[in-house]
Structure 1
Amino acid sequence: MKEGSRDILKRLRVNERIIAREVRLVGEKGEQLGIMPLFQARETARKHGLDLL
């Protein structure tokens, strides 16, 4: 992994570290699922075994 990539990963907010009220949810294959409240996006991600970034 490149040095710059590691810096980005350290700053990336994932799952419970996300603090926004609403997020844009993008599906596993890149499909736009819409803007939704964070709690709903977390539930959707958990159901599908995915992470929020």
Structure 2
Amino acid sequence: MKNKCIIKRMKENKESLYKKILLKGKDILIMIVIKRDLLSWGKNQGIKIMIS
């Protein structure tokens, strides 16, 4: 009985760890996308400013 509880807890910990890693990965991806968007927007603004 006790062993089952320990195994269950270990499984839950593993799952929550995976979720944390996935969330962190998502955050990093979102940051990269935002940075890329900002860079491309900045370039467009720079070109517009140079033209005008």
Q: Same fold (TM over 0.5)?
A: no
Larger relative helix fraction? 2
In our comparison, the structure showing a higher alpha carbon Rg is 2
Normalising by structure 2, we get a TM-score of 0.25
Larger relative strand fraction? 1
Normalising by structure 1, we get a TM-score of 0.24
